[in-house]
Amino acid sequence: MGFGWLTRLGSPFLKIFWADISKNLNFFQSGPETAPVWGKSALELRLRQPPLQRLGRGANPSIGRVVPVCLSATRRKLCEMTDEQQDEQFYRDTEGVAFPKLNDHQLSLLEPLGERRLVKRGDLVYKAGQRDLGLTILLRGEIEAFEQRDDTEQILATAHERDFIGDVAMLQGTSALASARVTSPDAEILHIPALEMRRALAEIPGVSKTIVDALIMRRRRIRRDREFAGMRVLASRDARDGHQLDDFLDKNRIPHRLVEVESEQGQALTDRFHLTGRDLPVLITPGGRRLRQPSLREVAREAGLLRSLAEENESEIFSDLTIVGAGPAGLAAAVYAASEGLNTVVLESYAPGGQAGSSSLIENFFGFPTGVGGGELTWLAQLQAYRFGAKFSTPSQALSLNYNADGEYRVCLETEGCSAILRAKTVLIATGADYRRLDAEGREQFENMGVYYAATAMEGQICRNETVVIAGSGNSAGQAAMFLSEGAAKVLLVIRGKSITNKMSDYLARRVQARENIEILYQTEIRKMFGGKKLEQIELENTQTGERRMVRTPAVFSMVGARPCTEWLPPEIERDDKGFIKTGTSVAGAPAWQASKHQPSPLETSLPGIFAAGDVRSGSVKRCAAAVGEGGMAVAGVQFRLASSS
């Protein structure tokens, strides 16, 4: 039998995941609530489940209609499948990747890194909430992973010989989501400590692909599971603080559930733990701990995101490169720097991924012809950086930076909630920019699904022959209006003030005013946005008259300005008139460079050894791929600086 994360005990397809179909054994063990079934291969049994029989050609008996013959067989199947059937197929398709058995060669590579241990029935291999787990490989016997939730215990998986235990938490060093205990009378495990495991994953390709792919896939399966609880946030339906905890855990990709206190389950939890309205929101950990009205830092600590970069009693932390900001630019730099052996620390004030992390579909990132979720893309980048040994701390906001040109560790950083001083030989500032968001009801729901912050050819396609709306009165709004008016039926330029020449260059304002299909709506604001999955219409209000009107549109372009996250930096780091950091030739005349025998590299700031990349940099193109490119390029400059100062 194989090792599989399963959570729906008793559901008709549960048993399949308990079966190791890759080995084609002729039995599988059921969960505690079901009796063992003998004599059938899992696959055979699986195919006898009623839902799959409906996946054949032609009619869908469940809805009694004939599927049009022009649909491809695959699409037709997907259209006919219920959510549960699609889950079922997903679990079946990913079983092989998620639960591989290690072969002799892989075991021989891993053996010298760990130690063999004999364990007996009932021994806990690890506990939910425990951090920095190493890799546990089962050499003999049986181990069960389980989630303890309130009064119930849910068996998630069972491991046997050559299986390894765990999920992505091991790679990230975050808290274990479940516990694991020995269920056979005795067992033998190979335990590889976390540090050694990371080294193996970075340096032994023969094992790293199998293990990393499996850990990632297991996490995907857990995230898809509708019953796995992980952390629970108990909050009132409309409470902002509860939703913020939910968003924070979500953006940091920690499996969790938001339980509304008004729901039946919410009431049960409230009674069980004797909670009152004043306690909310409450975080309930997989280990059963309750944190009343926790701060984000407390939640992060519980989830294992907030790591102490300093050892106990250490007052200083040293790094070759400290990266501030873990958006695409910071993550790319972390991957390259850590893979090149630099001691790399990454500080992130909210959640790795940055702006890209909140984009549901990035369609212009190269290599993904049908687009890629920004959260998924940046999560994988983060795991890659972990694998190479980069150290992350979230949420850790950089508060100030001090520079000493003479020291080896020339930069001193003060960070939120950390009493130790972070000393770095080089620093990359990748803090991006905050795009001002429109204060319109429903806006959040349509981010990237109708609300855009850039007008490129891609967005132009969406707007072809449609009415589109641009909010803003600066040059970027004017340029977007001119560009989009070429393909759109009509462009509505919505501005708060009475004139467009206050902020827009004269020549551009004249062109905008002269273009026939651009209408300027003065003293107007967008109040509400409506639609299904995508934006369909908006409500506008004339702030002078109070008159409201609805406009059908697939796209609103928010061009109301961006603020670079640079307020924490000293004035010696030169910025342009909008606050974006200058780099390369534009800082060659800065005092520090005048005194140096070197020239600044393209992404180096006015202080040698301090670099800037991505949206925070003056002149950057504000695109995901560009930020990634700059992050990688900055590391080349870092290497040069480290070599020239040694």
Residues in touch with ligand FAD (CB under 6 A): 324-330, 347-350, 354-356, 358-359, 362-364, 397-398, 430-433, 435, 447-448, 453, 565, 568, 614-616, 622-625, 627
Shortest reach from residue 316's CB to ligand FAD, in Å:
19
Shortest reach from residue 608's CB to ligand FAD, in Å:
21
Rounded Cα distance, 590 and 583, in Å: 10
The three-state secondary structure class of 531 is strand
Considering beta carbons, is residue 326 or 500 the nearer one to ligand FAD?
Answer: 326
Considering beta carbons, is residue 190 or 560 the nearer one to ligand FAD?
Answer: 560
Shortest reach from residue 233's CB to ligand FAD, in Å:
21
Q: Are 270 and 112 in contact (CB under 8 A)?
A: no
Rounded Cα distance, 66 and 392, in Å: 53
Phi, psi values for residue 93, rounded to 5°: -65, -30
Considering beta carbons, is residue 133 or 573 the nearer one to ligand FAD?
Answer: 573
Task: Find where tokens 């342009």 sit.
Answer: 576
Q: Are 230 and 148 in contact (CB under 8 A)?
A: no
Alpha helices in 252-367 (DSSP H): 264-272, 296-303, 328-339, 354-357
Considering beta carbons, is residue 380 or 489 the nearer one to ligand FAD?
Answer: 380
Q: Residue 565, Cα to own-chain centre: how many angstroms?
A: 20
Q: Are 492 and 469 in contact (CB under 8 A)?
A: yes
Shortest reach from residue 368's CB to ligand FAD, in Å:
11
Rounded Cα distance, 579 and 564, in Å: 6
Considering beta carbons, is residue 136 or 397 the nearer one to ligand FAD?
Answer: 397
Shortest reach from residue 400's CB to ligand FAD, in Å:
10
Q: Are 565 and 433 in contact (CB under 8 A)?
A: yes
Q: Are 402 and 322 in contact (CB under 8 A)?
A: no
Query: What's the first-to-final CA gap in the chain, in angstroms?
Result: 56
Rounded Cα distance, 412 and 418, in Å: 13
Shortest reach from residue 621's CB to ligand FAD, in Å:
8
Q: State both tokens at 140.
A: 């003999």
Shortest reach from residue 432's CB to ligand FAD, in Å:
2
Considering beta carbons, is residue 235 or 346 the nearer one to ligand FAD?
Answer: 346
Q: Are 614 and 630 in contact (CB under 8 A)?
A: yes
Q: Is the dihedral of CA 33, 38, 42, 43 positive or negative?
A: negative
Shortest reach from residue 356's CB to ligand FAD, in Å:
4
Considering beta carbons, is residue 142 or 348 the nearer one to ligand FAD?
Answer: 348
Shortest reach from residue 623's CB to ligand FAD, in Å:
4
Considering beta carbons, is residue 80 or 348 the nearer one to ligand FAD?
Answer: 348
Q: In sequence order, what are the residues at sequence separation of 6 or more whose Cβ sits closer than 8 angstroms to the Cβ of residue 244?
A: 296
Considering beta carbons, is residue 397 or 553 the nearer one to ligand FAD?
Answer: 397
